[in-house]
């Protein structure tokens, strides 16, 4: 059950895409006056546009923080979810009119959302984290299961899953390869952390979904349990900001990547169900020269069949960094951009159908820009930068085929720009 939200890789029909790649590169232009192509730092100057995009406004959203794409109304096209971290707003926007409907107004200080759905089917529900307070991390950390109401206009019902102080990121993952989804909850810090050091480690946790939800309520009510059972993954990392779920080694189960003060870590599990055992491997320490060191966002892509890591460094940092891997030894560190101000959003996806992944990244501070980076060599060590939007204080990104044309589109939510947009891919 793929879930489309921050850090999601989009799969397309690459054979069809490659057949039109030559035509695309002959005609590529950018659409809209807010779009331009230029480079800075180690990202090479292009002199011409690499892709074509059309921006579509979805909504105004003060304090926009998280965004996701999932189908709600059985229309076969993904709708858009977004939340505000400043106001009690968790909304979904119906595709294609983008009519706003409330998921809930009952939760405050919302910080993360994760719809659970299967392509072609309506969303079963959504995990929501609220009560976030970084300066008083022992407070809040409420994790909710939200279920759709009786009508599209009705607010969703909320059931408390659990409470983990500092809860900051939610992801669905098949952790043991049984084709069932577990909920991964990643706090940014541990209970009792205080600024400026935030030195208490975060308790990364996964929850078993209640049997009643797994069986679709087929079992008699007396035999159903509504309890979400928590299990600890790790409690050694500090300031865990970015999370990426991926089947890293092709074993049929999802692994979890984190970006934290310690750098980028890979969590792999063995065993089944409640007997899962976890191994943590440090892939790269990230930027260890700054006060808040390590990494803040993490994405994974491939260039010419070789895997690379892409990060924003350090925490809320100014750098976009690539680690060309190949043999998964990510010892080479390439800073491709050092112009960010409060970097907060990064994903990797093959946007133009050439078999190579691009990096999409943006920042929230003054300048409020969203960029696309294209690899220009076979190793993934050289990149060129394309400006997608200077009116987007990107706080979160999602990749989804919004209009059903087979192309991966980009969805973004902006914090200081208070907006939700989707960018239509006109590339091939």
The mean per-residue pLDDT over the stretch 21-46 comes to 32
- 327 has pLDDT over 90: no
Greatest C-alpha distance within the chain: 67
Rg (CA), the chain: 20
My answer on whether omega of the bond before 96 falls inside 30° of 0, hence cis, is yes
The pLDDT score that the predictor gives to residue 51 is 75
Looking up residue 26, the CATH number of its domain turns out to be 2.130.10.10
Tokens linked to 152: 């599209």
- 408 has pLDDT over 80: yes
Specify which residues 205 forms β-bridges with: 185, 232
In the chain, % of residues over pLDDT 90: 78
Asked whether the CA dihedral 140, 2, 342, 265 is positive or negative, the reply is: positive
- 45 has pLDDT over 60: no
Task: Out of 44-53, 99-108, 160-169, 395-404, pick the least confident.
Answer: 44-53
CA angle 380, 307, 332 (to 5 degrees): 55
Q: Are 298 and 310 in contact (CB under 8 A)?
A: yes
Global confidence as pTM: 0.88
Phi/psi of residue 424, nearest 5 degrees: -80, 125
Phi/psi of residue 68, nearest 5 degrees: -150, 165
Q: Are 396 and 344 in contact (CB under 8 A)?
A: yes
For residue range 259-316, what is the model confidence (pLDDT) as tens digits?
999 999 999 999 999 999 999 999 999 999 988 999 999 999 999 999 999 999 999 9
The mean per-residue pLDDT over the stretch 61-73 comes to 97
Long-range Cβ contacts of 136-140 (<8 Å, 24+ apart): 137/165, 137/166, 137/187, 137/188, 137/189, 137/190, 137/191, 137/192, 137/193, 137/194, 137/198, 137/200, 138/165, 138/191, 138/192, 139/165, 140/109, 140/165, 140/167
Q: Are 186 and 233 in contact (CB under 8 A)?
A: no
Write down the residue that tokens 């890979």 correspond to.
266
Tokens linked to 127: 């995990």
- From 156, 8, 4, 117, select the one nearest 68 (Cα to Cα): 4
- 29 has pLDDT over 70: no
Tokens linked to 92: 């979904």
C-alpha–C-alpha distance, residues 166 and 51, integer Å = 39
Chain centroid to CA 192: 27
Q: How many domains does the chain have?
A: 1
**DSSP-derived secondary structure letter, 275:** G
Mean per-residue pLDDT over the chain, rounded: 88
The mean per-residue pLDDT over the stretch 371-394 comes to 97
- How many beta carbons lie within 10 A of that of residue 220, not counting itself? 7
- From 57, 113, 117, select the one nearest 89 (Cα to Cα): 113
Q: For the chain, what's the residue count?
A: 428
DSSP secondary structure, 176-197, as one string: SSSS--EEEEEESS-TT--TTT
Q: Which domain holds residue 400?
A: 4-425
Q: Are 426 and 52 in contact (CB under 8 A)?
A: yes
- The continuous run of DSSP H or E covering 116 comes out as strand 112-116
Q: Is 406 helix (H, G, I), strand (E, B) or coil?
A: coil
């Amino acid at each position: 059950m793929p879930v489309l939200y921050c850090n999601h890789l989009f799969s397309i029909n690459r054979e069809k895409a490659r057949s039109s790649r030559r035509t695309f590169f002959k005609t590529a232009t950018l659409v809209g006056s807010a779009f331009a192509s230029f480079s800075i730092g180690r990202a090479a100057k292009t002199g011409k546009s690499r892709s074509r995009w059309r921006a579509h406004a979805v909504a105004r959203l003060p304090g926009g923080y998280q965004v996701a794409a999932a189908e709600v109304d059985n229309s076969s096209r993904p709708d858009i979810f977004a939340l505000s971290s400043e106001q009690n707003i968790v909304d979904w926007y119906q595709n294609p009119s983008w009519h706003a409907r409330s998921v809930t107004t009952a939760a405050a200080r919302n910080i993360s959302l994760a719809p659970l759905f299967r392509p072609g089917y309506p969303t079963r529900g959504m995990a929501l984290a609220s009560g976030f307070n970084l300066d008083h991390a022992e407070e809040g950390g409420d994790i909710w299961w939200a279920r759709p109401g009786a009508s599209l206009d009705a607010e969703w019902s909320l059931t408390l899953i659990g409470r983990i102080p500092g809860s900051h990121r939610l992801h669905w993952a098949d952790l043991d390869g049984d084709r069932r989804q577990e909920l991964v909850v990643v706090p940014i810090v541990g209970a009792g952390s205080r600024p400026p050091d935030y030195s208490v480690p975060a308790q990364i946790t996964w929850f078993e979904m209640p049997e009643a939800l797994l069986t679709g309520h087929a079992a008699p009510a007396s035999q159903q349990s509504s309890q979400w059972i928590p299990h600890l993954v790790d409690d050694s990392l500090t300031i865990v900001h970015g999370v990426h779920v991926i089947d890293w080694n092709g074993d049929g189960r999802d692994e979890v990547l984190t970006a934290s003060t310690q750098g980028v870590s890979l969590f792999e599990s063995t065993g089944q169900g409640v007997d899962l055992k976890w191994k943590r491997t440090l892939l790269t320490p990230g930027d260890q020269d700054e006060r808040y060191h390590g990494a803040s966002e993490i994405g994974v892509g491939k260039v010419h069949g070789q895997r690379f890591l892409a990060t924003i460094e350090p925490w809320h940092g100014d750098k976009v960094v690539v680690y060309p891997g190949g043999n998964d030894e990510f010892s080479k560190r390439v800073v491709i951009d050092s112009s960010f101000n409060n970097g907060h959003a990064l994903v990797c996806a093959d946007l133009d159908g050439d078999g190579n992944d691009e990096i999409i990244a943006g920042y929230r501070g003054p300048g409020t820009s969203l960029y696309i980076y294209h690899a220009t060599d076979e190793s993934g060590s050289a990149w060129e930068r394309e400006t997608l939007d200077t009116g987007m204080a990107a706080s979160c990104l999602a990749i989804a085929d919004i209009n059903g044309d087979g192309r991966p589109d980009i969805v973004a939510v902006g914090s200081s720009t208070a907006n939700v947009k989707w960018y239509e891919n006109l590339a091939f």
